[in-house]
Amino acid sequence: MSLFIIAEIGINHNGDVDIAKQLIDVAVDAGANAVKFQKRTIDLVYTKEFLDSPRESPWGTTQRHQKEGLEFGFDEYHEIDRYCKQKGIPWFASAWDLESQRFLQRFDLPYNKIASAMIVHEQLLNEVASEKKYTFISTGMSTIRDIDRAVEIFTKVGCPFELMHCVSTYPMADEDANLLRIVKLRERYGCKVGYSGHEVGLSISYAAVALGATSLERHITLSRAMYGSDQAASVEPPGFRQLVGAVRKIEKALGDGSLNMNPKEVSVAKKLRAHLAWESDSLEGTVYQPKK
């Protein structure tokens, strides 16, 4: 299976379906495999006290105004579903509560996603696992015990899953990437391990792919100058096209690790070793000696 690239739109649409469509276009143009959103039931995810607290935003003066301004309902997701089908790219979303997961069940989505913040929400994990859809599980902010429990839940019911190494800082500092965790997760759980990145730039994502990440998720935006907490850790359209193109090349370049000579080198070897006599030994391979 080739590297699965997820264009994370998240809430970078700023509550505007037209912006969401433009971001879907960016993902399609770059060659991503899927786009992803986030879904929350505001009154379940946040307390009334928090929602009533002040916050200046384009939608009003409270946290509730801001959170509700960023949230899509059924009509918006119905249009996103239609548009993605028209563009030939699948979409899915990470739910932050049980009601949101059940909301997403109203659409025929091919994948599920457990956000890093929700890996400790066992009721949600059980609900998602019961759907038996391929699920990406981000491991930011997680202890080994948290990951063990999530893997146990999905394994017990036979729900296919893939872990995603993630560091939940926005944006993530380069020195915090800890990319070798991809290798350690793969060794410990014997499963596919992808990378969900929040860094500025592209080089760390390239390195993750070189280390064998099987999926890559990056936030995308029309402009990092737009309103929103995720914009600074997002990739703009030219950068996302560059990212997808480069990781596809890296994927090809990794090869299968064979120690044998590349067949394309045979004619070159004959030419550059023409001054040497050679003989084949079944135990030692080809032995070269200077011609007499």
Q: Is 123 exposed, middle or buried (0-12, 13-18, 19+ CB in 10 A)?
A: exposed
Instruction: Name which of 7-11, 19-23, 122-126, 272-276 the model is least confident about.
Output: 272-276
φ, ψ of residue 285 to 5 degrees: the values are: 85, -150
Q: What tens digit of pLDDT does each residue of 9-35 get?
A: 999 999 999 999 999 999 999 999 999
Phi, psi of 211 (to 5 degrees): -85, 0
pLDDT score, position 287: 67
The residues pairing with 194 across neighbouring beta strands, listed in sequence order, are: 164
Q: What is the pLDDT of residue 275?
A: 87
81 within 8 A of 73, measured Cβ to Cβ: no
Nearest CA among 167, 171, 101 for reference residue 139: 167
Q: How confident is the model at residue 281 (pLDDT cuts 50, 70, 90)?
A: low
In angstroms, how far is CA 53 from the centroid of its own chain?
33
Distance in angstroms (rounded) separating the CA atoms of residues 203 and 177? 11
Residues 6+ apart with CB under 8 A from 26: 7, 220, 222, 237, 240
d(CA 218, CA 202): 10
Region of 235 (left: φ > 0; alpha: ψ -120 to 50; beta: rest) is: beta
Domains in the chain with CATH codes: 4-254 (3.20.20.70)
Pairing label, strands 60-62, 54-57:
antiparallel
pTM greater than 0.85: yes
Environment class of 223 (CB within 10 Å of its CB; exposed 0-12, middle 13-18, buried 19+): exposed
* Residue in the block written with tokens 């045979």: 266
Give the lowest-confidence range in 5-9, 107-111, 158-162, 273-277: 273-277
- Whole-angstrom Cα distance, residue 240 to residue 33? 13
With bands split at pLDDT 50, 70 and 90, how would you rate the model's confidence at 292?
low
pLDDT computed for residue 288 by the predictor = 67
Structure tokens at 203: 């080089």
